[in-house]
Amino acid sequence: MDELHLTQLGREVRGFDSPEAAVLERVPNPQADALYLARFTAPEFTSLCPVTGQPDFAHLVIDYAPADWLIESKSLKLYLASFRNHGAFHEDCTVAIGRKIAEVAQPRWLRIGGYWYPRGGIPIDVFWQTGPAPDGLWVPDQGVPTYRGRG
């Protein structure tokens, strides 16, 4: 998969029925020699509870330090939307997304924060990263406060 084989950018794509069917694409990083952080924020991520089939909602924050590749953002949007009818626990969704992005982009470093809204009265926050952040990389706070309810 490379810039010559993009299947979604600039084309009509109706989406995917499952994360397994979704195609996450990458493009060459024109600043591959620079150490920097790129952030994707998905404040309206949805999936399904694998037990009840009820919808689950999360605010995802994905930070990565690109190397030779960038994640193509339209394909990421479609990949994340493919979870809409996918049944999985919060931990599974969050870690699977992080691993998939790391596999495709092969970044210097990646972390994902999954800030899930309460299920059964308990919010679940899930964090995963590929390892320690590289020395010299500015890694800002993800900016998502702990769930407080209506208070």
Catalytic residues: 49, 56
Task: Give Cβ neighbours of residue 64 (< 8 Å, ≥ 6 apart).
Answer: 37, 38, 71, 101, 102, 105, 107, 108, 109, 110, 111
> Could you give phi then psi for residue 14, rounded to 5 degrees?
-85, -5
Q: CB of 9 within 8 A of CB of 26?
A: no
Q: CB of 144 within 8 A of CB of 103?
A: no
> What does the alpha-carbon distance between residue 125 and residue 148 come to, in Å, rounded to a whole number?
13
> Could you give phi then psi for residue 19, rounded to 5 degrees?
-60, -30
C-alpha to C-alpha distances, 87 to 61, 65, 82, nearest whole angstrom = 20, 30, 11
